[in-house]
């Protein structure tokens, strides 16, 4: 399949038109990037003269979409551009999306409309669309405007990537920059703006005397899973442990001398299926492999969508 056949030549919305890049876009592109360079350089490396290279790189695994205003303002009509790259097929059908919005159109909703059209295209079946299942936007934490844009389209915060890309930051220096990861699935599109990802609760029980040092299994397991530790060493009765667990949206590790009906009833009251939550014996000095093995067991137990 040729690069040109992956997407339609142009798709028109209410205020913008989205189409692939062409040599005819060069004057508008140079003007748009130059005019926006000071703002874009906080988080990217703007180049007003790289459009020929962008066009040359077009392929089924790297697509650029240009967003044009139907009613241009000022010296150019280019609202912005988006690149959909790192396309992986097979069982993944995923890609990453990056974009720039250009002055004087920033903050007027035109680029958001363009991104909606672009997402329609990347999720649509081939050959009209790209047939993707998942799109990921990686955004520096300080770039709150960009994060707000994708959240307004319904992207959800999925994770954090440390030292993800070597880029400028809001301080103007190039360095390895942390990024937040926002995602959209074809099954969720079109999405409600500002959706919240539903956190998966992870629950484990460590039975035995509570650990008195951070090297115990329960404290380390809670850190590995990223959930609170509810220890009998901190409360008066087991009922309080399970009440704390019930109120936690992400679950927790419950530690104490718990067994039999008391344990099963406590988990049920906390909204946890007693048949699902793994139960481990206490370890005073657990090594890292022990902790990771048990954390994997917990994640596997709660991997089903209805857990």
Kindly give the confidence (pLDDT) of every residue in the chain, 307 residues in length, as a single tens digit, with 9 standing for 90 and above. Answer: 444 445 678 999 999 999 999 999 999 999 999 999 999 999 999 999 999 999 999 998 999 999 999 999 989 999 999 999 999 999 999 999 999 999 999 999 999 999 999 999 999 998 889 999 999 999 999 999 999 999 999 999 999 999 999 998 777 788 999 999 999 999 999 999 999 877 789 999 999 999 889 999 999 999 999 999 999 999 878 999 999 999 999 999 999 999 999 999 999 999 999 999 999 999 999 999 999 999 999 999 998 655 5
Rounded Cα distance, 78 and 24, in Å: 12
Judge contact between 65 and 121, C-beta under 8 A.
Answer: yes
Q: Is the pTM of this model over 0.85?
A: no
CA–CA separation, 40 vs 246, rounded Å? 45
Domains for the chain: give ranges and CATH numbers: 3-188 (3.40.630.30), 202-301 (3.40.50)
The residues, any chain, with a CB within 8 Å of residue 24's CB and separated by 6 or more, are none
Asked if residue 86 lies in contact with residue 92, where contact means CB atoms within 8 angstroms, the answer is: no
């Amino acid at each position: 399949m040729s690069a040109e056949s992956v997407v339609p030549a142009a798709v028109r919305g209410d205020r913008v038109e989205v189409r692939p890049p062409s040599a005819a876009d060069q004057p508008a592109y140079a003007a748009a990037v130059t005019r926006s360079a000071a703002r874009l350089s906080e988080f990217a490396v703007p180049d007003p003269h790289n459009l020929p290279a962008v066009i040359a790189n077009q392929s089924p695994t790297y697509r650029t979409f240009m967003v044009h205003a139907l009613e241009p303002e000022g010296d150019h009509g280019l609202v912005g551009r988006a690149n959909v790259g790192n396309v992986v097929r097979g069982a993944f059908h995923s890609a990453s999306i990056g974009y720039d919005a250009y002055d004087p159109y920033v903050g007027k909703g035109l680029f958001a409309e363009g991104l909606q059209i672009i997402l329609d295209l990347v999720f649509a079946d081939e050959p009209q669309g790209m047939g993707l299942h998942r799109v990921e936007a990686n955004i520096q934490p300080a770039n709150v405007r960009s994060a707000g844009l994708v959240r307004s389209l319904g992207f959800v915060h999925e994770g954090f990537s440390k030292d993800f890309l070597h880029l400028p930051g809001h301080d103007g220096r190039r360095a390895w920059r942390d990024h937040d990861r926002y995602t959209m699935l074809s099954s969720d599109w079109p999405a409600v703006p500002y959706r919240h990802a539903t956190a998966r609760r992870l629950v484990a029980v460590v039975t035995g005397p509570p650990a008195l040092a951070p090297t115990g299994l329960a404290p380390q397991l809670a850190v590995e899973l990223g959930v609170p530790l509810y220890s009998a060493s901190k409360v008066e009765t087991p009922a309080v442990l399970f009440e704390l667990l019930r109120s936690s949206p992400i679950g927790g590790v419950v530690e104490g001398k718990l067994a039999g009906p008391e344990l099963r009833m406590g988990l049920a009251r906390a909204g946890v299926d007693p048949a699902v939550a793994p139960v481990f014996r206490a370890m005073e000095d657990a090594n890292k492999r022990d902790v990771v093995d048990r954390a994997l067991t917990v994640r596997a137990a709660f991997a089903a969508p209805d857990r």
